[in-house]
Chains A and B, each alone.
Chain A
Amino acid sequence: MGIQTETVTTTKTGLREALKRFWKPYSRIPLLGWLVGALAAVLLELIVGNQFGRLLGMSKAPALLGLVIIMKTPLLIPSALAYVLVIYLLPAGIIARVGTSLANRAAAFLYQANTGLSAIIHLALFYAVLHLWSNLSDYRLLVVKLTLIAIIITLSLNVVNGYMGEFSCSHPGFLALGAYAASIFTIVLFVNENRFGDALLPPALGPFLFPIGLILGGILAAVGALLVAIPSFRTRGDYLAIISLAFMFIVLSLFNNLEFVGGPRGLSNQPDYANLPTVFIWTVLAVWIINNFVRSTIGKALNAVRDGELAASTMTVDTRRTKMTAFLFSAFWAGIAGGLFAHIIRYINPGTFGIRKLAEVLAMVYLGGLNSVAGSIVGAVGFNLMGEALRPLEILKWIIIPVILILLMIFRPTGLIAFTELDPIALLKPKAMTNEGGDHVAA
């Protein structure tokens, strides 16, 4: 029996070794190289995607990396896989690998010249990839936008549920506050329609003043958060969960009964201000600011409060203020995300921000991982892609997703990537440099 186990482990390690050997040249590719590779892949798709898709028996290029096809028409799975391999993986991999040393030199140059500039170039490349990819269909564009704001929502909830370790349920309420506030702002000011009358300002100004509407929505959400925070942060425990859940329902019934915003029929006619660049910039801002916050000692005070409030307060941390700040901050970003959401869908009703939204948001946070910015991004993207992939199953989707979550809670209780710190500067570094550093540590 001993021999048997040994053989099993050798084959396993053999496979792992082979994978490692295969991956080794790729591990030296810096982020810059990958972005250029991805750009090449989406360019290729833009040119030959639809033709190649038809060649493989699909009506056009698969909309979402072939994910939707897998459930809809399983017979096309090989075609979808072939498409992903030929259009995305091979070109991106080959170009990234061929350009490894060039990309490393470019990354090193940028890194030394100016990290801010380097970050902007990386982001611009990433935006170009998203833009070109989503150019192919409206469906893709919508998925990209919704995924981006899902990142904001997940990250902001992670500040409370992960970093601070309290259980807040009021996020849909904050989303609703932000969505309604921003919608009213833009509709009243820039849209001629029968509910609120003629536009007060020339519509041409709209896109420029749109951020103000979003921020107003964020501030309104933060004010709502204050109402939750004052009674619930007097003590620890389940109070926040209960009070915030109540708050969510109060906001829901408020909008259900406010006739001037349409009551249960909802509010439509939002102008089309939430285009991809706007959503992208807000998402980048949110990730950057939230990441900055949680990496500062002020932000880490949240972890101290979570892991031992008494110790935190005897170590000079103003625990009450810390908790309040974080909760309001989190609600602010939820409000921003709500405003963006309203202008992406261009229709909102109270039902959108109900208990199902709450389940979705919580699922993204816990899927991705508590106390982790990278985890929240992975959670939001993963959950959204999974949702789209399972969409053809209709109602079964709402059985499969919870089952996946239950399995996750059993095998990885803290989520996929939990308790990590994201250092954006490290991402910009050329890979050869970090490898040397790693060798030194090993030696």
Chain B
Amino acid sequence: MSLLEVNKMTHFFGGLRAVYDYNLEIEPGQIRGLIGPNGAGKTTIFNLITGVYTPTEGEITLNGSSIKGRPPNQIASSGLGRTFQNLRLWRHMSVLDHVKMSQFSKITYGLTGAFFGTPRRQREEAEIEEKARGLLELVSIAHLADQIVTNLPYGAQRRVELARALAMEPSILFLDEPTAGMNPEELSEMMDIIRHVHAELDLTIFLIEHRMKVVMDLCQIIQTLVFGEVIAQGTPDEIRNNPEVIDAYLGKEVEV
């Protein structure tokens, strides 16, 4: 059974057809890629699957149960983690608090614990803090744990986002342009981290990327999206040689 299945998903923004007849099946352990020119609807697909928008038509199942129309926090707790294209960090919060926060749904001490600081709360807070520190170690920014995120360089902020998404213990991780705006050095580090977490945490990954090098190196299967429709799907080699893809995206200049 596939981990995540999207069936004939279509979405309209008013009269604009943003996504049309989108299908996806991700098997556990895969790294999948989604490419396409600007405005093709890649991030919209992420938003639709993660519950930010509800698709006009179609069905989405995660681990065999339908998640269509459920609020984002429930979808997230059922095992779907994501990062954002334009970092959405909480600007007044410390790095450690970010990574603790995404374990929110695992907290069981409730309001009693929050108000009165019960021993149970101390224990749970210590647990999620330990986990958070471990994840910061994994993306090698443990030394920045107490910094406020806005003080960090861009590359480190990206890592915070990744650690934050990992703290949810997702079974599948959505990465929205994880290397956007990075210099070549940061880029190769980020690719190493992605490979590392994929192997270490046995994670399934679905990523949007603009840089061909990243997608071709990391992904096993790639989809190409143009104007909300998938025009090609296949291995990196197939995509590289697909004339339609070359036309729409790789070879020809994108008309403005």
Contacts and interface: CB of A to CB of B under 8 A. Distances in A.
Interface of A: 289, 292-293, 296-301, 303-304, 306-308, 310-319, 325, 371, 419
A294 to B, nearest CB: 9
B90 interface: yes
A199 B248 CA distance: 85
A297 B73 contact: no
A264 to B, nearest CB: 37
A428 to B, nearest CB: 15
15 contacts: A292-B115, A304-B93, A304-B101, A307-B91, A308-B89, A311-B90, A314-B50, A314-B51, A314-B73, A314-B82, A315-B104, A315-B165, A316-B168, A318-B104, A325-B111
A319 B90 CA distance: 14
Contacts of B91: 307
A297 B90 contact: no
B249 interface: no
A371 B73 CA distance: 24
A315 B93 contact: no
Interface residues of chain A: helix, strand, loop or mixed (majority): helix
Interface centre among B52, B73, B89, B125, by most chain A C-beta atoms within 10 angstroms, is B73
Contact of B73 (A293, A299, A317, A325): A317
Given A292-B117, A311-B84, A316 B92 contact: no
B168 A315 contact: yes
B102 interface: yes
B77 A371 contact: no
List 3 A-B pairs, minimum CB-CB distance, nearest first: A307-B90, A311-B88, A315-B102
Contact of B52 (A310, A319, A371): A310
B116 A297 contact: no
Given A289-B115, A293-B114, A298-B114, A316 B90 contact: no
Contact of B88 (A293, A310, A325): A310
A292 B122 CA distance: 11
B121 interface: yes
A173 B203 CA distance: 51
Given A298-B114, A304-B90, 14 more contacts: A296-B121, A296-B125, A297-B101, A297-B103, A298-B109, A301-B101, A304-B93, A308-B88, A310-B88, A312-B101, A314-B76, A316-B73, A316-B76, A317-B73
Given A314-B82, A316-B168, A303 B93 contact: yes
Contact of B113 (A296, A300, A303): A296
Contacts of B110: 298
B168 to A, nearest CB: 6
Contacts of A314: 50-52, 72-73, 76, 82
B220 to A, nearest CB: 25
Contact of A300 (B72, B93, B111, B117): B93
Contact of B76 (A300, A315, A325): A315
A293 B118 CA distance: 11
A296 B104 CA distance: 10
A310 B102 CA distance: 13
Contact of A298 (B102, B107, B168): B107
A313 B72 CA distance: 6
B77 A316 contact: yes
B90 A303 contact: yes
Contacts of B73: 313-319
Nearest to A370: B92
Contacts of A297: 97, 100-101, 103-104, 107, 125, 128
B244 to A, nearest CB: 33
B114 A296 contact: yes
Contacts of B84: 311
B7 interface: no
B164 A315 contact: yes
B105 interface: yes
B39 interface: no
Contacts of B88: 308, 310-311
B71 interface: yes
A419 B165 CA distance: 25
A279 B91 CA distance: 37
Contacts of A304: 90, 93, 101
Nearest to B77: A316
Nearest to A371: B92
Contacts of B111: 298, 325
Contacts of A306: 90, 92
Contacts of A317: 73, 101, 104-105
Contacts of B77: 316
A311 B128 CA distance: 19
A318 B93 CA distance: 18
A287 to B, nearest CB: 12
A311 B110 CA distance: 22
B102 A316 contact: yes
A298 B103 CA distance: 10
B92 A419 contact: yes
A413 to B, nearest CB: 14
B118 to A, nearest CB: 10
Given A296-B125, A315-B168, A307 B93 contact: yes
Contact of A299 (B76, B103, B114, B165): B114
Contacts of B92: 303, 306-307, 371, 419
B93 A316 contact: no
Interface in B196-244: none
Contacts of B82: 314
A289 B163 CA distance: 31
Contacts of B89: 307-308, 311
A2 B27 CA distance: 69
Given A299-B114, A307-B92, A311-B90, A316 B103 contact: yes
A290 to B, nearest CB: 9
A387 B113 CA distance: 37
Contacts of A289: 115-116
Contacts of B102: 315-316
Nearest to B148: A419
Interface in B101-158: 101-105, 107, 109-111, 113-117, 121, 125, 128
A293 B109 CA distance: 12
Contacts of A319: 73
Contacts of A310: 52, 72, 88
